[in-house]
Amino acid sequence: MSRPLAITHATVVTGDARGTLLEDRTITVDDSGLITTVAPTAQVEVPVGARVIDATGRFVQPGLINAHAHLFSDGKPLKPVLADPRVGTLVARFLRGPIGQRWLLGKTRNAVETQLNTGVTTIRSVGDPGYEVVQVDREIREGRLLGPRLIPSGPLLAIPGGHGAPQIALIGADADTVRKHVRRSLSRGVRAIKISATAGVTDAKEVGYAGRPEMTEANMRVICEEAHQAGVLVAAHAQGADGIRAALRAGVDTIEHGANLTDDIIDLFKNNPSSLRGFSALIPTLMACLPLVKLDRAITGANEVAKVNAEMIFEEMLGGIRIALECDILLGMGTDSALTFVTHYNTWRELDFLIRYAGLTPAQALHAATQANARILGVEDVTGAVEPGRAADLVVTSANPLTDIRTLDHPISVVVRGHVIDHPKVERFAELDQLIDQF
Ligand SMILES: [Zn+2]
């Protein structure tokens, strides 16, 4: 239960792709945290006992939805030893043990609190070391912790030696093993399944390796069938056309990162009979890649192979986004938080990069992060818009985010399920921010 709320005289930024603004609106919220009215202020009677926030001169938009997050670290450069395949098994065993899990629970609580304090009210995790995000999700649902809505994945599924394996992955090469992994994760309470369809930038062994197909289409199909039976969507890390095509054919619901898309792939996105709902969506993530492209290797610690691969993947991702816009493929937003240089408070930067590097209008970027992401993740009845019947997941800013996206860096308040955070605060890493400010 939360206290009934009325936000008066607000300019509502609806989050549609055209950038519609509604002037001088009053939003009322009941004690269950649902929006009950959005109407011109003069027509609304503020309920007795409601807390009133005068939003004259302020902008109110739907809470941001981060469709691609990891929560195991804070975004400062990861220690290379953690990604070293030679110690990977030890790292994975430690992280899934009692001490590692306790440590990860602390990290996860901090991470979701930081995202919430910068306006992110829904987070899908897509690759966790263990089931710590499921645990934090439970704490939030039971009201023990004020946090965003979580859609946890648990560990992703990868082939032996594949992307994310074994630190944040369950490993399997045959149909029975991957089926067992999906069932185990579902029984542990995950509400998303993530797989590595192709290799990635960080583990590339040679130039051009990053988008190489890894998981077989047959195994991906087994995973999708198991997940879909439980009503759970499947996300695939996929960075090359062949891997994307195989993943979509197998029934994957969201392609993470992406690449240039051929005509047959475009058709599969828009009409995908094997997916849960008949369509698939694209979730690009620019922020994790851009530092590797822009910064000196002495700063990023990346080797030459990783840098060249990052440049290739970044161009491919931009190509995929442009095609998605042209061809009306559902386009979402994710940050790849917790990876090196991707902090939990910098979600606004992903929108900024989508605008400046990929050519989205500010309205399209905000739409991707709100209404479109809600539809993509299947929570459009619950959140993603400032409309009666949806949860009061809102961000109040001093400037119009459509003309000044950086205003989301320091919201005046954040509302999650009707609970108001009045003075959102986060711990920042000034050195890291200065580096990214140069891009
Ligand atoms: Zn990721």
CATH class assigned to 5-62+384-421:
mainly beta
Quick count: other Cβ atoms within 10 Å of Cβ 402?
Answer: 18
DSSP for 352-377 reads HHHHHTT---HHHHHHIIIIIHHHHT
Tell me if the bond preceding 166 is cis, omega within 30° of 0: yes
Is domain 64-376 given the CATH code 3.40.50.300 in the classification? no
Ligand 1 centroid to Cα of residue 179, in Å, is: 22
pLDDT for 301 beyond 90: no
Task: Yes or no: say if 14 and 386 are a contact pair by the CB < 8 Å rule.
Answer: yes
Confidence of residue 303 (pLDDT cuts 50, 70, 90): confident
Length of the chain: 439
Residue 207, pLDDT score: 84
pLDDT at 338: 96
Cβ count near 138 (within 10 Å): 14
pLDDT at site 37: 98
Distance 201 CA to ligand 1 centre (A): 11
Per domain, the residue ranges of the chain are 5-62+384-421, 64-376
pLDDT of residue 135: 98
* Chain centroid, CA 328 distance in Å: 20
What's the CA-to-centroid distance between 292 and ligand 1, angstroms? Answer: 15
Give the tens place of pLDDT for each residue, 215-253: 999 999 999 999 999 999 999 999 999 999 999 999 999
Ligand 1 centroid–CA 432 distance in Å is 20
- CA–centroid distance, 288 to ligand 1, in Å, is 8
- Given its phi and psi angles, is residue 119 left (phi above 0), alpha (psi -120 to 50 degrees) or beta? left
Quickly count: other Cβ atoms within 10 Å of residue 260's Cβ. 16
pLDDT digits (tens, 9 = 90+) for 353-364: 999 999 999 999
